[in-house]
Amino acid sequence: MPDRDHSPQTFVEMVLTLLEDRFPWLGSEEEVSGADTVQELSQLHGDLVKRLNRSRSSKLAEAR
């Protein structure tokens, strides 16, 4: 995600920022390819799983 002037303050703001960054066509009348959308969502899911796993690993390392 690109840096913003300020960090999102709430969970909803964080999710909206994420969605707007990944899917700039949301909320517009622009025609969208279903296959591209599924591919983008799969990529986003993979990125989030990796980030979660890294976060969990670092927390486990800190606890030791």
In a shared domain, residues 63 and 38: yes
How confident is the model at residue 1, as a pLDDT? 47
The Cα–Cα gap between 39 and 23 comes to: 12
Residues 23 and 37 in one domain: no
37 and 64 belong to one structural domain: yes
pLDDT of residue 29: 85
Q: What is the pLDDT of residue 37?
A: 84
Over the chain (64 residues), the average pLDDT of each successive run of 10 is 59 86 83 85 88 86 84
Same domain, 40 and 19: no
* pLDDT reported for residue 6: 60
Residues 22 and 39 in one domain: no
What's the total number of domains in the chain? Answer: 2
Q: Are 17 and 8 in contact (CB under 8 A)?
A: yes
Judgement on whether residues 38 and 23 belong to the same structural domain of the protein: no
